[in-house]
Amino acid sequence: MPSNKKNGIPTIFKALLIAGSIALAIYVIASTNSHPVDNGPWFGKKITPPREAYNFELTDQNGAPFQLKNQRGKLTFLYFGFTNCPNICPTSLANMASAIRLLPPAARDRVSVVFVSVDENDDIAALKKYMPLFDEKFIGLTGSKEKIGTIARAYGAFYRKSDTQEDLIDHSTNTCVIDPEGRFCLVYGIDQLPNAAAIAGDISRILGLQTSTP
């Protein structure tokens, strides 16, 4: 009678092992294509390891108290600027709005933009007029000089009165990203913000959205 064994392993068992390996490979590939993994390059500068975001409380454009920790569950863009900024701030906020608009509609509600004014003259009324120019959901914040100074330092931001124009403020232009778990995880330079598609890709990855492969 012919043997059903080859090198000590039954032929039928060997076939089952091969079939199982193929099925596992197909599953791994499908999972990788459907769910972003944290093993490729990021467009933004990655904070490694991500650190717990400094929590703070200020007042929003509606006069309501705002605490950063209440943004848990959302991805948050944090930016420091002022409403009379002639170009950098409005361009940066418009670029963020463009990136968010590239997301699926349901995902847009999982992203917030928080604008902290570093100008003592930016009161609630000024912010209420300014923020809807970019998106009705964008949050503008104001508070005491001491509080805002502490918050800015916690995120590596700086600002000072302009040496050349009295009504202008020189300030840093980085955009901080805080993930839904409340971790400071990415930073974008001003030169990166115009690339809405790349930023939307980072957002999708952080939110765990399904992505399609080329």
% of the chain surpassing 90 pLDDT: 75
Q: Which amino acid is at 185?
A: C
Residue 37 confidence (pLDDT): 43
Average pLDDT of the residues in 140-161: 96
10 Å Cβ neighbour count for 4? 10
The CA-based dihedral angle spanning residues 11, 15, 20, 21, taken in that order and rounded to the nearest 10 degrees: 100
Mean pLDDT for 71-84 is: 97
**Cα–chain-centroid distance for residue 117?**
19
Q: Dump pLDDT digits (tens) for 34-53.
A: 334 455 799 999 999 999 99
SS3 41: coil
Residue-level pLDDT at 167:
83
What is the structure's pLDDT at 163?
85
pLDDT the model gives residue 39:
56
Model pLDDT, residue 4: 44
Angle at 46 between CA 41 and CA 52, to 5 degrees: 140
Cβ contacts of residue 173 below 8 Å, gap of 6+? 88, 92, 189, 190
Closest CA to 117 of 152, 91, 68, 87: 152
Decide: helix, strand or coil at residue 192. Answer: coil
Structure confidence at residue 47 (pLDDT) = 95
Provide the greatest CA pair distance for the chain: 100
Cα 58 to Cα 32, 65, 70, 132, 161, distances in angstroms: 41, 6, 12, 19, 22
Q: Using an 8 Å Cβ cutoff, are 95 and 193 in contact? A: yes
CATH topology (fold) of 45-207 = Glutaredoxin (3.40.30)
- pLDDT averaged over the chain? 85
Structural domain spans, the chain: 5-34, 45-207
In whole angstroms, what separates CA 197 from the centre of its chain?
13
pLDDT average, residue stretch 183-197: 97
Q: What number of CA atoms fall less than 13 Å from residue 44's CA on the CB side?
A: 28
